[in-house]
Amino acid sequence: MKNEQNTTLKNPLEQYPKPPFQRQPQQPPGLASKMSPQPDHGEESYRGSGRLKGRKALITGGDSGIGRAAAIAYAREGADVVINYLPEEQTDADEVVQLITDAGQKAYAIPGDITNSEFCKQLVNDAVEKLGGLDILVNNAGKQQAVDSLSELSEEQFDATMKTNIYAPFWITKAALPHLKPGSVIISTSSVQAYDPSENLFDYAQTKAANVAFVKSLSKQLGPKGIRVNGVAPGPVWTPLQTSGGQPQDAIEKFGEQTPLARPGQPAELASIYVQLADDSASYATGQIYGAAGGSGHP
């Protein structure tokens, strides 16, 4: 007898909420708990099967959004997880820690600002100490603030975006390398903005293109060492990054409607990609960027 769950098709057009959404401004970095509708990170839906049993993961930006979805999935696949986040995101982080421990795995929350190089080094050292090693690194945390005109983009914002999205992955990955053994993986969160940048995301789009080059170059360096490096390029995904200034509020009302699926993605819909890239079954995948954009964008 076939499993009914496996034979029931789900229409992706109807799986998750569609625009219009209400305006919901938050101060950055924003909290998932204050969004309406609440994002789906896989809290109720993700089912693991032991694909990452015994693995040890560090995820930046693991309190909400795509990082939270990856953390939940990794734990339910058998990995112990350290998440990093900003202190202002503590309430979201507490929820993730509980979800990981509910899955029977070790969870550690390390707050701090990754625009500080010394903190990045300490983050890796603390993660390695708490986990007893490290073999999955997910450079996911990002800063995105929409600004209509280059003349209005401050040097302070430009610098913060570069440090969060480019410098931090460099600092963290460099600190992690001595701990990564053959079979380890590095995963970076890029964006469709790397390929088709919006006019009001001038600084953010450049950093996402840099993330693609990070993956392409580093994979060639580390391939001979048996360490795989890949990336994910999401399209519009319903996360606090968007509602806390990543998009203008008028764009939030119709967020995602321009895609062929006519809605934004939910973090839960990307979780399986991060699992696949971390799993040994993807052993020939390195230097790749996996797209998830609802039918729009690249790659």
| Mean pLDDT within 180-197 | 98
Q: What is the DSSP letter of 42?
A: S
At 7, is the pLDDT very low, low, confident or very high (cuts 50, 70, 90)? confident
Q: Is 83 exposed, middle or buried (0-12, 13-18, 19+ CB in 10 A)?
A: buried
Q: Is 274 a catalytic residue?
A: no
Confidence of residue 3 (pLDDT cuts 50, 70, 90): very low
Quickly state the pLDDT bin for 39 (edges 50, 70, 90): very high
* Contact between residue 189 and residue 138 where contact means Cβ atoms under 8 Å apart: yes
pLDDT bucket at 181, cuts 50 / 70 / 90: very high
* Digit-coded pLDDT (tens) for 15-26: 999 999 999 999
Q: The domain that contains 283 carries what CATH number?
A: 3.40.50.720
Q: For residue 36, tell me if it sits in a domain.
A: no
Domain with 189 in it:
49-292
Ramachandran region of residue 145, left (φ > 0), alpha (ψ -120 to 50) or beta? beta
Q: Is residue 31 part of a domain?
A: no
pLDDT tens figures, 228-275: 999 999 999 999 999 999 999 999 999 999 999 999 999 999 999 999
Residues 120-139: tens digit of each pLDDT = 999 999 999 999 999 999 99
CA dihedral in degrees (244, 246, 247, 248; nearest 10)? Answer: 60
Q: How many domains does the chain have?
A: 1
| Within a domain: 179 | yes
Residue 140 has pLDDT above 80, yes or no: yes
Q: Which of 74, 85, 195, 204 is catalytic?
A: 204
Residue 4 lies in a domain: no
Instruction: For the chain, give the percent of residues with pLDDT over 70.
Output: 98
**Which residues, 6 or more positions from 268, have their beta carbon under 8 angstroms from its beta carbon?**
40, 41, 42, 45, 46, 69
Flag whether 263 is in a domain. yes
Is residue 216 assigned to a domain?
yes
Rounded CA-CA distance 297/192 in Å is 5
> How big is the chain, counted in residues?
299
Rounded to the nearest integer, the mean pLDDT of the chain is: 96
* Residue 53 and residue 77 in contact, taking contact as beta carbons nearer than 8 Å: yes
Q: What is the DSSP letter of 167?
A: I
Residue type, 151: S
Q: Examine residue 14 and state whether it is found in any structural domain, yes or no.
A: no
pLDDT classification of 109: cutoffs 50, 70, 90: very high
Residue 249 lies in a domain: yes
